[in-house]
Amino acid sequence: MEEELSIDEQIVSFRGATTDLSEKDKAILGHEAAVVNHLYQQLHSPNHKVFFDNVFTTYNLLELLAAKKIYAAGTARVSRFAKPPLMSDKEMSKRGRGNHYQVRSRDGKVVLTKWFDNRTVVISSNFVGVGKDQVERWDQQRRSFVKIQHPECVMRYNQAMGGVDKLNHLISQDRY
């Protein structure tokens, strides 16, 4: 007879609670990034593109995946990077919607991009940076759509994570 797992148990299992993770990986990468590394060790060919949210995004993970030729990007918590010289949220707000600021690691393999739309968004990647594009956004004051600069890393992240964000939203509402 098969044992049924509750939704919460399935999610905990997927997150790696029962997965044997390397203690070395956990020490170097942190628990969450070690889970991502464990999952991607099963890929036997290079040139995959993976996207994840800020829980998993660290400089060490992006560098490790780049070495394996696995291209990765994700929203980032600035505190998980070594004090990057990014513009403050207040300064970016003064410059207006569509402005961005980008910093690269010394070796150029990891890019951290901060972009201001209605609020700031920070995305880190080991394969794509700003690569400007334009997107239409609703402007409340003008009561019309306006075109603003849109970094390529944000566009790719949004395209890739749309389904994941929708699933997370449904899970939070207990509808799936």
> pLDDT tens digits for 72-91?
999 998 888 888 888 899 99
Share of the chain above pLDDT 90, in %: 9
15-31 residue pLDDT tens: 545 567 778 888 888 88
Residue 124, pLDDT score: 92
What residues contact residue 117 under an 8 Å CB cut-off, 6+ apart? Answer: 97, 98, 137, 148
Higher pLDDT, 170 or 160: 160
- Centre a 10 Å sphere on the Cβ of residue 128 and count the other Cβ atoms it contains: 20
Tens digit of each residue's pLDDT (9 = 90 or more) over 89-143: 999 889 888 888 888 888 888 999 998 888 888 999 999 877 777 777 777 777 8
Question: Average model confidence (pLDDT) for the chain?
Answer: 78
pLDDT for the residue 7: 35
Measure the CA–CA gap between 76 and 87, rounded to whole angstroms.
15
Tens of pLDDT along 33-47?
A: 888 878 777 776 778
Within 8 A by CB and 6+ apart from 158, the residues are: none
Residue type, 83: K
From CA 106, how far away is CA 67, in angstroms rounded? 15
User: 11 pLDDT band (50/70/90 cuts)?
Assistant: very low
